[in-house]
């Protein structure tokens, strides 16, 4: 695994520290295990969905939190240790272990809903730009004289 040093970016660019932090975080999280597997898809021009395979987890064992553009999904198994101690497995392939998945969200991306169906946690997201940032059409008026004459002032009165 190759590591990158972003120190020169911090020394020579102003205002790009958030971008460098995102790149560093992405490099660190790419080394994480692949559990649980997930998909990220676009469902519209400004809509997205994250689907996470959480077979064996109930809704009360899952937590979804958004803080400062960071979406964190955690799963904590509660009663598996006692039940597993009483069972004898010939093969145990279902990974029902605790997990934490983090997703960095762009500015103005909000979580709109979350559903758990058939072991698949589906989190819907939408980019909601504030009115001040949305494009708006500017009306073009007629030509106005650059210099007002005395007759123009008399007509206006």
Q: For the chain, give every domain's residue range.
A: 1-31, 35-131
**Which of 52, 42, 57, 68 is CA-nearest to residue 114?**
52
- The tokens 């932090």 sit on which residue? 21
Give the per-residue SS3 of 68-105.
CCEEEEEECCCCHHHHHHHCCCCCCCCCCCCEEEEEEC
Structural class in CATH, domain 35-131? mainly beta
pLDDT category, 143, cuts 50, 70, 90?
confident
Per-residue pLDDT tens for 48-101?
999 999 988 999 999 999 998 899 999 998 765 555 567 888 888 877 789 999
Whether this model's pTM surpasses 0.85: no
Per-residue pLDDT tens for 35-47?
899 999 999 999 9
């Amino acid at each position: 695994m190759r590591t990158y040093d972003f120190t020169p970016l911090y020394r020579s660019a102003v205002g790009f520290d958030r971008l460098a932090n995102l790149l560093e975080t992405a490099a660190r999280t790419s080394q994480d295990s692949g559990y649980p597997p997930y998909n990220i898809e676009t469902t519209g021009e400004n809509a997205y969905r994250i689907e996470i395979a959480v077979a064996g987890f109930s809704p009360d064992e899952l937590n979804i939190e958004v803080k400062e553009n960071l979406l964190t999904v955690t799963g904590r198994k509660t009663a598996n240790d006692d039940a597993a101690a009483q069972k004898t497995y010939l093969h145990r392939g279902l990974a029902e272990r605790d997990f934490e998945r983090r997703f960095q969200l762009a500015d103005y991306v909000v979580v709109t809903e979350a559903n758990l169906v058939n072991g698949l946690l589906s989190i819907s997201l939408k980019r909601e730009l504030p009115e001040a940032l949305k494009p708006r059409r500017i009306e073009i008026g007629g030509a106005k004289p650059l210099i007002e004459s005395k007759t123009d002032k008399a007509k206006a009165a």
